[in-house]
Amino acid sequence: MDTDLSLAGLATGLRERSFSSVELTAALLAQIAERNPQLNAFITVTADEALQQAAAADAALAGGDSSALCGIPLAYKDIFCTRGVRTTCGSRMLEEFIAPYDATATARLAAAGAVMLGKTNMDEFAMGSSNENSHFGTVANPWDDTRVPGGSSGGSACAVAAGLAPAALGTDTGGSIRQPAAFCGVSGLKPTYGRVSRYGMVAFASSLDQAGVFARSAADIATVLPHMAGFDPLDSTSSEHEDPWLDACTTQPLGTARSGRIGLPKQYFRDLGVTEASLQSACQVLEASGFELVDVSLPHVDAAIPCYYIIAGAEASTNLSRYDGVRFGHRCDNPQSLEDLYRRSRSEGFGAEVKRRILTGTYALSVGYYDAYYLKAQKIRRLIQQDFLAAFADVDLIIAPTTPDIAFKRGDLVDDPVAMYQQDIYTIPASLAGLPAMSIPCGTHQGLPLGLQLIGPHFAEKRLLETAASFQQQTDWHLQRPGQNPQAADSGSET
């Protein structure tokens, strides 16, 4: 059967009984079984549970369930706690951790009838830009298995790109959805901070973490998002922002935007490097569609990377204090003393990058350094937020590259953390400002995908998705699949 359909297509197929959810799920499980040994996109495949859920969905469909997600198989980043199924967060620390609760996001999707295929690979505790920091091994980029899929949600991006799941959940703290979406040639949305509950999502940096969606198109993302978004009494930072459009999304197809002002940050567009050709042609597509392109300035984005690594590290350093070997998680053998228990459990349980961030974060919060690092970073964060607010007074959306380059080779950056951190240069500012942002395929370089990033004002997911949908009506970059079209003509071609 053809599993390479849009979510709307799959939903129609299910409703018209062209195939059952069990058949669809079994077909995807078969592909996972075949390709996961090479791709390593999944840490845990929940085949039995998936088939049970699919059977239940088939019964619901037979009973007239009209949810667009009923019976649709999804993959979840292994950062979402799932009752009874282990949640590793890519770490040895949680290798055997089974939560007695569900994350709100996945629980809501399950309530809408979605089927969980399994838990996808990721950088340990979502810290990384290449998925090389996973305790469960690296993930291949389906376009070129010598290259990384991006990170930290590399497994989810890979699964969607390789056709192992029609859509997948990821989380984005500084770019962890957008960057792997760009590297793997799929669409990925990081919603506004607070749009989706963080409850049950293993915390990395609480003021930045946000759950989002990978799919093959903006329209598919719009099908999943409303079923996981919305205020959650279990998360004080989730937003009570009412959005009738989100509810409407559950029953109506996504519209397309045809007009509006799009800002091009001059700080980004003066040196686009390898992304130049595809970004310029994307601009032409948008302009031809009726959008007006104007220059905007984000004067403080230069400071975004250091600012981000201080704030995220500081929050992570204390969020990860609970992994102490006392109640759950990895515990060293035969601790000789309390200090020995802490030292060895944490030394053994955490990988190098996690340790690096705990140490830098601890340093930034220490007496004597707090003002110079943490407080200063908070001030910069406010300046960056103000930059965006000022820009959005003039424009409806901002576009930027998602990444500075195509996916890099495995191992290329592992010994150079600062160069690795530079990968997030275009994605971090929107994270610091809590803005919704998404990456959509906009071209290729050396046959590998590149992403166009759309950034909107708070709670402007509708505008992002409808603009992306408009772009995807005009172009077919999002339809390209790895392996189908090797070394095709790079960038710029329109349909």
Partner 1 sequence: MSWESVIGLEVHVQLATNSKIFSGAPTAFGAEPNTQACVVDLGLPGVLPVLNEEAVRMAVKFGLAIGAEIHPYSVFDRKNYFYPDLPKGYQISQFEQPIVGRGSLTVHVEGCEPQQVGITRAHLEEDAGKSIHDAYAGLTGIDLNRTGTPLLEVVSEPDLRTAAEAAAYFRQLHSLVRYLKICDGNLAEGSMRCDANVSVRRVGDPELGVRAEIKNINSFRFVEMAITYEIERQIELLESGGTVARDTRLYDAERNETRSMRSKELSNDYRYFPDPDLLPVELDQSFIDAVAADLPELPEAKLKRYVAQLELSNYDAAWLTQDPEVAEFFEAVFAQAGNAKLAANWVMGELSAALNKAELSIAESPVPAATLGELLQRIADGTVSGKIAKGLFDTLWQSGGDVDTIIAREGLQQVTDSGEIQAMVDEIVAANPDQVAQFLSGKDKVFGFFVGQVMKASKGKANPAQVNELLRAALKK
| Strands of 42-45's sheet in order across | 42-45, 115-120, 73-77, 167-172, 210-215, 187-190, 437-445, 448-455, 397-401, 260-265, 291-296
Q: How far is the CB of 94 from partner 1 (least distance, A)?
A: 7
- Interface segment toward partner 1; rule CB under 8 A; list 48-56, 179-187, 318-326, 389-397: 318-326
Distance from C-alpha of 84 to C-alpha of 100, rounded to nearest angstrom: 6
Query: Is 138 or 173 the residue whose CB approaches partner 1 more closely?
Result: 173
The footprint of partner 1 on residues 363-422 (CB under 8 A) is 365-367, 370, 374
Pair 211, 170: CB distance under 8 Å: yes
Distance from C-alpha of 440 to C-alpha of 448, rounded to nearest angstrom: 14
Sign of the four-CA dihedral 429, 208, 450, 351: positive
Q: How far is the CB of 317 from partner 1 (least distance, A)?
A: 8
317: annotated active-site residue = no
Q: Per CB under 8 A, does 76 bind partner 1?
A: no
Marked catalytic residue, from 20, 21, 67, 77:
77
Q: Per CB under 8 A, does 87 bind partner 1?
A: yes
Q: Per CB under 8 A, does 327 bind partner 1?
A: yes
The footprint of partner 1 on residues 336-355 (CB under 8 A) is 338, 342
Sign of the four-CA dihedral 172, 174, 177, 180: negative
Sign of the four-CA dihedral 112, 157, 121, 175: negative
152: annotated active-site residue = yes
Query: Is 143 or 323 the residue whose CB approaches partner 1 more closely?
Result: 323
Three-state SS string across 228-283, please? CECCCCCCCCCCCCCCHHHHHHCCCCCCCCCCEEEEEEHHHHCCCHHHHHHHHHHH
Marked catalytic residue, from 20, 130, 152, 491:
152
- Interface segment toward partner 1; rule CB under 8 A; list 324-332, 406-414, 428-436, 461-469: 324-332
Query: Is 147 or 346 the residue whose CB approaches partner 1 more closely?
Result: 346
- Interface segment toward partner 1; rule CB under 8 A; list 42-50, 51-59, 79-87, 299-307: 79-87
Distance from C-alpha of 315 to C-alpha of 173, rounded to nearest angstrom: 12
Binding residue for partner 1, selected from 31, 284, 362, 385, defined by CB under 8 A: 362
Query: Is 7 or 203 the residue whose CB approaches partner 1 more closely?
Result: 203
18: annotated active-site residue = no
Distance from C-alpha of 175 to C-alpha of 182, rounded to nearest angstrom: 10
Q: Which of 83, 130, 88, 80 is CA-nearest to residue 105?
A: 80
- Interface segment toward partner 1; rule CB under 8 A; list 87-95, 107-115, 241-249, 425-433: 87-95
3-state secondary structure of 21: helix
Q: How many residues bind partner 1 (CB under 8 A)?
A: 43
Pair 451, 442: CB distance under 8 Å: yes
Distance from C-alpha of 179 to C-alpha of 115, rounded to nearest angstrom: 26
Query: Is 357 or 462 the residue whose CB approaches partner 1 more closely?
Result: 357
The footprint of partner 1 on residues 134-193 (CB under 8 A) is none
List the catalytic residues.
Answer: 77, 152, 176
Please give the residue ranges that form the binding site for partner 1 (CB under 8 A): 79-81, 87, 89, 94, 97, 99-101, 103, 198-203, 205-207, 233-237, 314-315, 317-318, 321-322, 324, 326-328, 338, 342, 362, 365-367, 370, 374
